Every structure is written in structure tokens, then in C-alpha cells.
Amino acid sequence: MGGGGGGGDGEPEFQVAPMIDVLLVLLIFFMSITSAQVLKIDKNIKLPLALHGEKRDDKAKAALINIAWNSATSSPTFKLDDNLIDGTDTESPTINNINIVEILKQRRGTDKEAAKFRMLIRADKAVHAKFLLKPLKWGAEAGIDNIAFSGVNNELD
């Protein structure tokens, strides 16, 4: 008669296919809940100490500006998410020949969406304050009024 899942000596066989199905479902689940914002953070940036900073828990749409410091050239490198911003020393910096202000305006969206949009600036602690004026100017020109700076609340280095 019918019977399944066993050898001739009465030991059950281990079913691999259902285990692989469960593992694939778990993998897809964890990949889908991983925030895209985490993937855009530059790990080389050493954030400044902000002892009295407050963690932002809201899930607002954001434009992430990373500012890394190149100590060899004594100059900053600006990125929007993970895209290098060219011509930051000019009046109209660009990404792929598109003005950064226009990109920020487009991301900000309509007036209704703009209330939930913010610009997050992550600057290396070696970056001079005068270089922070550039992304602040870009945000102001794009009409972004919710701007936050990222920092750490303890020194781990």
C-alpha cells in the first residue's frame, strides 16, 4: 500500500524542499523590511558628538545629504543619498547634469507632501561649518523647511 517518507528500515527521510521554501520566505521578508535609507548612509563619515540630540522616530520622506571630509585635499565631498554631487563650488551643482535644487524640489513634491518631507544632513565631524551652508542653501532654494542634522550621543571611537 501507500506510505511515504521512509526507508526500508523504518527511519523517516528528512524533507529539504519545505525547509528551503521557509528560508526563502524569511529571506524575502527581511529584505523587504530593510529600510532603503540605511543603504544610503556613508559608513566612512564619523558623526559629531551631540549629547543632547533627540532621535527622530517619524517615517517622513527624506533627502539624505552625506558630507565626507577628505583630509588629503582638505575639501568636502557631497552626496545626495549615494549619488555624487558635481560642481559644489559653483552656483549650480548637479547630479548627472540635473541641478541639485531641481532634484530636491522634485523629491519634495507638492505643498501637501512637502509638510512630511525633510532633508537630513550627515556631515563628518571634521567638516568645517562653512561647508554646511551649501546644503542649507540648496534646501532653502528647493523650499524645504524641515532640515535635520545627524549626530551621535556617545563617542565610540
Helix (H) or strand (E) holding 138: helix 133-141
Is the pLDDT confidence value at 20 over 60? yes
Interatomic CA distance for residues 116 and 92, integer angstroms? 26
Is the pLDDT confidence value at 43 over 50? yes
User: What is the maximal distance between C-alpha atoms in the chain?
Assistant: 83
Kindly state whether residue 56 falls inside one of the protein's structural domains: yes
How many domains does one find in the chain? 1
Kindly state whether residue 28 falls inside one of the protein's structural domains: no
Kindly state whether residue 128 falls inside one of the protein's structural domains: yes
pLDDT digits (tens, 9 = 90+) for 97-132: 999 999 999 888 876 666 678 888 888 888 888 898
User: Given CA atoms 118, 139, 96, 75 in this order, what sign does their dihedral have?
Assistant: negative
Domain span including residue 54: 39-149
Interatomic CA distance for residues 144 and 157, integer angstroms? 33
